[in-house]
Structure 1
Amino acid sequence: MERDRLHDSALYQSGCQPDRLMQEIEIFGKMVLQMQQARAGLLHQ
């Protein structure tokens, strides 16, 4: 029960700043992409 309430408040807080949340997701996605590309580059050497 308490966990659900915390989850709802977290959703509400992220809903207050959707732009910032999207920016963080975008930055994280780019980091993952770069890591994958770097790993692929190492494998091809």
Structure 2
Amino acid sequence: MAKIVPLLAILLMLLHLIRPLGLPGLKRRRDFWKIAILMIAAVLFAAVLRD
């Protein structure tokens, strides 16, 4: 499971570069970095909960 999350993040970022997802805050192609920030926050949150 831990290895699939980064793969999913990369897939979402590539998909967003090809065609913007249209979600609030993700309207333009150049907003793909926000997905990376969200995934980093999710990994940190999971690490805090695990300890």
More helix by percentage: 1
TM-score normalised to the size of structure 1?
Answer: 0.48
Task: Give the number of the structure whose alpha-carbon radius of gyration is greater.
Answer: 1
Bigger relative contact order (CA 8 A; separation at least 6): 2
TM-score (normalizing by structure 2): 0.44
